[in-house]
Amino acid sequence: MTESDFWLFLEISKKGKQLPIVSGYQDCCDPAVQKAGEYLGGHSVLFEGHDKLPVSMISDMGRLILQSNVSLRAKEAILIILAHHPSREALNALKEYNKRPDKKLKYTAHFALQECEWWNE
C-alpha cells in the first residue's frame, strides 16, 4: 500500500458511510490538552465498517506509518483507524510506531495506542 492508495481507499470508504462524530475543544494553554482535542477531532476519518477491515489491510497500514516518506496527515489518519481496530495486528503496529513516533505525532500515537489497548481488552 502506498500513501496514494491509502487516500483513495479512505475516500471510497467514507462515501455515504461516514460516522456521526461529536467533538469538543477545550481552550487551554496546556499542550497535552490541546493535543487530546486534536486527537478527538481526528476521529472524523472513521467510517462505517472501519473496525471490520481485513487484517491484511491493517498490516499494510501498520507498515505504511513506519515509512519516513509518508505525510504526517496520512500517518495521523492511519493512527486513528488503527486505534479503533480490535486486532493484534493493529495493536502491534501501534506499539511499533510508538517506539519512534514522528515528533509532531507523539501525543496522537500515544492516545491511539491507549485506545487500541481498550478495544483489545
Where in the chain are the domains? 3-14+30-119
Phi, psi of 47 (to 5 degrees): -140, 165
pLDDT number for residue 33? 62
Confidence category of residue 13, pLDDT binned at 50, 70, 90: confident
Please say whether the beta carbons of 43 and 23 come within 8 A: yes
Share of the chain above pLDDT 90, in %: 62
Name the residue with cell 487500541: 116
Average of per-residue pLDDT across 68-88: 96
**The amino acid at 93:** A
48 pLDDT above the threshold of 90: no
Whether the pTM exceeds 0.85: the reply is no
